[in-house]
Amino acid sequence: MNLLAQYALTGVVTGCFLILATIGFSLTRQVEGFLNIAHAEMLGVSAFITWGLNAAAGWPFIPAAVVAIVATAFVGLFIGRVVYDPIRKLGPAVVLISSVGVALVIAGIMHAIIGTGIRTLDVPLATTYKFFGLRITNYQMIVVALAALTGISLALFLNRTKTGLAIRAMSTNPELAASRGIDVRQTSRATWLLSSGLAGLAGVMLALIATLSTDIAFHQILQILAVAILAGLGSLYSVIAAGLIVGIAMDVSVFWIPAGYRPLIAFAVVIIALLVRPEGLSMKRSS
């Protein structure tokens, strides 16, 4: 029983990471209207900038992480402006396939610069704490705290600020938003910065809790897709529920079946959910 609870707790941590990784992806889907396969590569970009500054150049962790997140946000903005903006009018399928091209380019560049092999950050080893017989490391707690903080601040941002409201308006009905005087281009830029910045944050967390290799991003996109489909492509809040469901399902499944099946579990949950609710948890129809 205790072991099961331990797996569930690890699942919560995995879930929180998935929330961080998926929110940016879902935001792009809503505002820009396509599935950005390259989103996971942005996690990799951020993780390796952090690694480069921290382990290779000897910076302390926090400034390295901040620089990595900001840099990733601008890389995302740059890619959005140069690659995706001109082809948006061609429909979501074309943009989706283009984003595979972008993912290939980013992965190739990272591979060329960094090479194969496993990397770790230059940070103190994780300290383990015990609560009621359950173990959790300090880094895992940071992931959970940051996921909660991100969720709350994002909700405040989208509901209280002018840019946030503009983003929500754009995601609901771009034409109407434009005709009501919302600056579509500026809102789109803000979205790119925000979603890539969130990918950057998730990437830093990834660097903190996992060992890094250049193919790490590809494994993340599978789980991000799973969470995003489960959440339904129409809502941000359901991402939180979906992330936790997928994270806990994956980690608890290890209790009964071999760990190699973890990714399979993620998709099994998704496929079952889709058969019951073809539009995802949010029940909103995607446009």
Partner 1 sequence: MNTLAQTALTIVMFGSLFSVLTLSLNLQYARGGMINFGTVAYFAAGAYAYAIVTQEPPHGLDQYLVGLDAPWWAGFIAAGIAAMAFAILTGWPTLRLRGEYLALTTFAFAEMLSSLLVNERRIGNGTVGLANVERPDANILGLSENIVYAGAAFLLMLATAYAFSRLLASPYGRAIDAVRDDEVAAQAIGKDIARLRFQVFVLSSIPIGFAGALYAMITTLVNPNLFSAEVTFFVWIALVLGGERTILGAVVGTMALVGFQEAIRAIPFESVRAAEIAASAEDIVTGILFIVILRWQPFAAFARRRQPA
| Distance (Å, whole) CA 176 – CA 181 | 9
Contact window for partner 1 (CB under 8 A) among 103-111, 147-155, 175-183, 234-242: 103-111
Q: Smallest distance, Å, CB 15 to partner 1?
A: 18
Quick check: 117 binds partner 1 (CB under 8 A)? no
Taking alpha carbons only, the member of 226, 264, 220, 219 closest to residue 245 is 226
Question: Is residue 270 a contact point for partner 1 (CB under 8 A)?
Answer: yes
Q: Does the protein bind partner 1 through residue 267 (CB under 8 A)?
A: yes
Among 109, 134, 145, 152, binds partner 1 (CB under 8 A): 109
In sequence order, which ranges of the chain are alpha helices (DSSP H)? Answer: 2-31, 39-51, 61-79, 92-114, 138-160, 162-172, 174-179, 184-209, 216-231, 237-253, 262-276
Beta-carbon count within 10 A of 105 CB: 14
SS3 242: helix
Binding mask 29-58 for partner 1 (x = CB under 8 A): ------x-----------------------
Rounded distance between C-alpha atoms, residue 199 and residue 181, angstroms: 29
Asked if 268 touches partner 1 (CB under 8 A), the answer is yes
The residue ranges that bind partner 1 (CB under 8 A) are: 35, 83, 86-87, 90-94, 96-98, 100-109, 111-112, 115-116, 218, 222, 225-226, 228-229, 233, 258, 260-261, 263-264, 267-268, 270-271, 274-275, 278, 286
